[in-house]
Chain A
Amino acid sequence: MNKDDYAKQVIAVLNSSLDTLRPEVTQKLQSAREQACAMAGQHSVIHHHNKSGHSLALNDWMRQHRSGLVGMLLVMLLLAMVAVWNNSSSNDDEATDIDTALLTGDLPVNAYLDGHMSKWVNNSSDY
């Protein structure tokens, strides 16, 4: 008889011993199993509710805070407009400052008339 056959015989005896468990033990095992299954059922229900609940909760929240959301969007739009206007006005300010400097003589006109300089600026911007 090889090892596997011997092991199978041992297992057959062990399996037959399972039928001789005392009734208290089998009852406790059964109640443990039922508790475990009840817990698994509760977990699956909670999981399902959570999954579907997320989208429902989001819809409810959006419905309740519709006016707030519209107001928030308007504020964001206003802020964006202010930022764009501020940026363009700062460009205008720079141009005004240069004009003022040119008129008062603080900035020499030759700097703009010098072809070599513009060539040098263009070349240096390549690097």
Chain B
Amino acid sequence: MANTNDLERFLKEVERRAYRQAVFAVRDEQAALDIVQDSMMKLAEKYAANPPSEYPMLFQRILQNTIRDHFRRTKVRNFWVTATSFFASGDEQDDEEALEHVQPTDEKDSPINILITGKNIALIESALEKLPTRQREAFLLRYWEDMDTAETAAVMGFSEGSVKTHC
């Protein structure tokens, strides 16, 4: 039971940052929520019995892997959508899809949200989104998650030198 309390405390502390990290990576709020939920469930299912000191590393590793899985799934889905749309003849469906793509998936880009959250936040978030994936991950892990170079390297699966290059 003690571990469940520790786990809850840890997740409560990290969930919002994890969500933001996922949004920066996938640029889709709903997908980001799913990714964070999946990561939480995986941590709870497989590693809840581990010492709480290991939670940050494990969770970040799971989160990064879940984000990569999301990209892989999206890539496969896009491939099949492209392949099937090549053979499909309906033009109306294409129009509907185009409209769906036009709709903003992330409401933080809306002018109201920018006004509420402040210009600086919007600028920084947009700058972070424009960063290459590895560089963004390394920066967020090093400075936002307060991990040292070795921990960041372990989570990202790179060498410490590579992490230093990216930060």
CB-defined contacts of B19 to chain A, threshold 8 Å: 21, 25, 29
| Closest beta carbon of chain B to A77's beta carbon, Å | 45
By the criterion CB–CB under 8 Å, are B107 and A22 in contact? Answer: yes
By the criterion CB–CB under 8 Å, are A33 and B8 in contact? Answer: yes
By the criterion CB–CB under 8 Å, are B121 and A8 in contact? Answer: no
CB-defined contacts of A30 to chain B, threshold 8 Å: 15
Q: What does DSSP make chain B's interface, helix, strand, loop or mixed? A: helix
A7, A21, A22, A40, most chain B CB atoms within 10 A: A40
Contact size range, B: 35 or more
Whether, in the assembled complex, B150 has its beta carbon less than 8 Å from a beta carbon of chain A, the answer is no
Q: Closest A-chain residue to B17, C-beta based?
A: A18
Beyond A18-B16, A44-B1, 9 additional contacts (C-beta under 8 Å) are A7-B142, A10-B124, A29-B19, A32-B37, A33-B40, A36-B11, A37-B11, A40-B44, A44-B49
B111-149 contacts to A, CB under 8 A, are 116-118, 120-121, 124-125, 139, 142-144
CB-defined contacts of B48 to chain A, threshold 8 Å: 40, 43-44
By the criterion CB–CB under 8 Å, are B16 and A35 in contact? Answer: no
By the criterion CB–CB under 8 Å, are B116 and A20 in contact? Answer: yes
Known: A32-B15, A44-B49. A37 touches B124 (CB 8 A): no
The 5 residue pairs across chains A and B that have the minimum distance between CB atoms: A40-B48, A36-B40, A36-B44, A32-B37, A40-B44
Whether, in the assembled complex, B7 has its beta carbon less than 8 Å from a beta carbon of chain A, the answer is yes
